[in-house]
């Protein structure tokens, strides 16, 4: 079986319950519709309320992603920073930072870069008026696309009172080699684009 990061097409479904106090996402294999990554963050009532205020931008979070057998595959987190630029970190299962970007760049009106730990750009993300968000290598090769047009039928779960939901289609191009760490970073970045 292919590694969960070596597929070319994915569907992301997301749910937000009770005003941001529980946010969870599932990534499915596009062809088989099987869930392959589960991402969840739980927070308390105070955190949920603060997210709706002017302090929402500094509230920390940690989304942990697990494969079907419960192994951690990556973490997406933001720590509280007062008086400093707040960074979003992508961590490997061992807790090491493998990529990051400043939260403040994600007011998504212009392209922004995702960096390695030395602030070297890994790739650039560009918004599009056609409804697609495109990921480019630094030499301008298209490496991934994110859109709201996910074909096929994917069942919904946990549709409780007060929930909101979303569904996105992710396609990673062949320019990103199998087993490349960039595949993990792309999926983690897509999660942040949905929660930001």
* Interval 84-123: pLDDT, tens: 557 889 999 999 999 998 765 445 556 788 999 888 999 9
Cα 145 to Cα 143: distance, rounded to the nearest angstrom: 7
Please return the burial class of 10, using the count of CB atoms within 10 Å of its CB with bins 0-12, 13-18 and 19+. buried
List, in sequence order, every beta strand (DSSP E) within 30-181. 35-42, 61-66, 72-78, 87-91, 97-102, 112-115, 121-126, 133-136, 142-147, 164-172
Q: What's the pLDDT at 159? A: 41
* Interval 43-53: pLDDT, tens: 655 565 565 55
Quick one: fold of 9-195?
A: Porin (2.40.160)
DSSP alpha helices (H): ranges in the chain? 45-50, 181-195
State the pTM of this model.
0.80
Rg, Å, the chain Cα set: 16
């Amino acid at each position: 079986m292919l590694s969960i990061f070596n597929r070319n097409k994915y569907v992301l479904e997301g749910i937000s319950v009770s005003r941001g106090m529980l946010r969870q996402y599932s990534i499915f294999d596009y062809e088989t519709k099987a869930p392959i990554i589960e991402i969840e963050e739980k927070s308390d009532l105070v955190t949920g309320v603060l997210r709706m205020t002017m302090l929402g931008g500094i509230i920390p979070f940690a989304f942990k992603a697990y494969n079907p057998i419960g192994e951690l595959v990556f973490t997406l987190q933001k720590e509280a920073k007062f008086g400093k630029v707040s960074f979003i970190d992508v961590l490997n299962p061992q807790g090491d930072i493998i990529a990051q970007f400043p939260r403040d760049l994600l007011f998504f009106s212009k392209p922004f870069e995702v960096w390695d730990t030395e602030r070297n750009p890994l790739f650039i993300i560009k918004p599009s008026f056609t409804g697609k968000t495109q990921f480019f290598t630094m030499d301008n090769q298209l490496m991934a696309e994110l859109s709201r047009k996910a074909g096929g039928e994917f069942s919904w779960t946990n549709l409780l009172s007060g929930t909101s939901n979303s569904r996105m289609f992710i396609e990673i191009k062949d320019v990103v080699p199998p087993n490349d760490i960039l595949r993990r970073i792309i999926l983690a970045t897509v999660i942040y684009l949905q929660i930001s």
